[in-house]
Chain A
Amino acid sequence: MSRRPAARYALRAASLAAALGLWQLLTSLNVDLWLRFSQFPTVADVARAFGDRLSGPDYWTDLTDSLTRILTGFLLAAVLGVATGVLVARSRSAEDVLGPVLEVVRPIPAIALVPVAILLFPSNEQGIVFITCTAAFFPVLVSTRHSVRALTPVWEEAVLTMGGGRWRVLGSVVLPGALPGIFGGLSVGIGVSWICVISAEMISGQYGVGYRTWQDYTVVNYAGVFVGMVTIGVLGWLTSTAVELLGQWLTRWLPRTSYVPGGRMPRAAAVAVAGTGRRTQAGVPTGAGSALTSKDTEPGEARDEHLV
């Protein structure tokens, strides 16, 4: 636990390098022990193919196409999922009206909706976004519903007795309070979105990383298939890290028990300790303690020793 960040990043890089090394070893030696690596491209082959792709125009078109699809679908799913989740959790009639439909649709794998998407939407593009959105929608919906139901009632009662209405409760209690749970759903959702956007592209896309990967397979360009897979892996990692970081930043108020990056907590703790030091009779006020004495504490000084 006490490892420093630099050491931890070195360890992570080493783990990736070891995986690549193993791959290179197995493929360059044409290992054929039940699992057959002889047909596999080596790491060097894939790297060369990657370099060629990067300089070509199609790669970047594929990349932006896939990213546009997944971001559109995922953002739609996030908004719709949170809105529906809150609605179902907070309103009994919404639960009765929407609940059965949602529960019946939920078990259907989003990729099985390809025929529906083809029938419904005038273009493939919209169909892929629809499938991506449906895939991410349910994890977001379910986690939102659960975390809204798990909110402490006292928070809502507090806002109500301040004269707040339902919109105030929604904005000041429900949404911020459910945020940690919502981000759990979003993290799952972005992963499922990638699975579905790639599959949908393989089935019905024009351009896109999934489409390109499948094309390469059909023309027996195995190095190209691996370039596609690496691209998907890296994009997936980047997007889920972005969701994760956004979630951490938005829920930074959560009490954290162990390691806190940046070392802000020790400073805050030091201030708290200095604050208590000022009040002890023993007379060990630290420098910080005297700085804390402010204009409006005079009547409270004697009393304050009880109030730590």
Chain B
Amino acid sequence: MSTSSETTRATGDTPETFATGTGTPVTGAGVTAPARGTRLALRGATLGRPGAPVVTGVDLDVAPGEILTVVGSSGCGKSTLLRTLAGLLPLLSGEVTQDGRPLTGPAADRALVFQEDALLPWRTLRANVELPLAIKGLPRAERRAQADAWLGRVGLADHARQLPHRVSGGQRQRAQLARALAAAPRAVLMDEPFGALDAQTRAGMQDLLVEVLGGTGATVVFVTHDVDEALFLGDRVALLGNGRLTAVRDVPRPRDRTAHDDPARVALRRDVLSSLGT
């Protein structure tokens, strides 16, 4: 595999370049003290549950502040990879590091966004967003102010006091995004967060994601089975298949809606699709 040579590439796409310039109003509550992204690395890693390895021989380096998308057919270990990086699943062999230090368990600086409703159904949207801030130990008033600011950023200011089951699936995912970003994590790990949404909602969510990530500088690992989503969002795209990490490719003109007919992008899309066997 040629992955290791490609992964050493320095990410030229610093976070500032993909702030879409929409000038999201952020209230004075100090929503984002810009946290620098973290570097995540896997060396010769075997991932999976004990006795049932799913992916073997993974060498992957996620640079600080980059968006790495991971594509692969279902059941190929995308979620396993993400859970390993989150610290929820121990490695079977090899090593996983964060900024060069071994990664031993889940931590607040690596937030996880789930596909399904991971919002706590007994908490209002606001209380859900407040939860990571409470765990951080922020005083109540500050929690509330920050949660409201984040809900505003994702367009849910009017729904702050609704319970999750009272809002739509898209709104729940926006709330989940706000909750993940509220505690200013240095890495955001996203497990097909828009997978259950219809195509239009999904496109809107991608734009929103790009917008709210702007300025946080967080490293993002974004798992999806949608190749177009992967090519739109990712600085690089990693391909999983047959229990291996088969390639990591640079994406030309990421997060540019007009780039979908860029010849380089079209060629990459064809490559990715053929290597996924579709």
Contacts and interface: CB of A to CB of B under 8 A. Distances in A.
Interface of A: 154-155, 157-164, 168, 172-173, 176-177, 179, 251, 253-255, 268, 271-272, 275, 292, 294-300, 303-308
B158 interface: yes
Contacts of B155: 296-297, 300, 304, 307
A306 B22 contact: no
B196 interface: no
Contacts of A155: 118, 120
Contacts of A255: 121, 165
Contact of B167 (A158, A272, A297): A272
Nearest to A269: B166
A168 B166 contact: no
Interface string B24-48: 1101000000000000000000000
A162 B183 contact: yes
Nearest to B198: A306
Interface string B68-102: 00000000000000010011100000000000000
Closest 3 pairs (CB-CB, A-B): A163-B108, A306-B204, A299-B22
Nearest to A276: B168
Contacts of B27: 296
Contacts of B122: 176-177, 179, 251, 253
B114 A299 contact: no
Interface stretch (B129-137, B220-228, B261-269): B129-137
Nearest to B128: A158
Contacts of B174: 307
B25 to A, nearest CB: 5
A281 to B, nearest CB: 13
Given A157-B118, A255-B165, A163 B112 contact: no
A158 B233 CA distance: 23
B22 A163 contact: no
Nearest to B152: A296
Please tell me the size bucket of the interface on B. 35 or more
Given A158-B112, A163-B132, A306-B203, A253 B121 contact: yes
Interface of B: 22-25, 27, 83, 86-88, 106-112, 114, 116-118, 120-123, 131-132, 135-136, 152-153, 155, 157-159, 162-163, 165-168, 170-171, 174, 183, 189, 200-205, 207-208, 211
B114 A158 contact: yes
Contacts of B110: 161
Nearest to B23: A299
A306 to B, nearest CB: 3
A297 B122 CA distance: 27
A271 B158 contact: yes
A298 to B, nearest CB: 8
B31 to A, nearest CB: 11
Given A296-B25, A303-B208, 4 more contacts: A154-B114, A157-B112, A162-B108, A304-B204
Contacts of A251: 122
A81 B252 CA distance: 60
B120 A306 contact: no
A298 B163 CA distance: 25
Contacts of A177: 120, 122
A296 B24 contact: yes
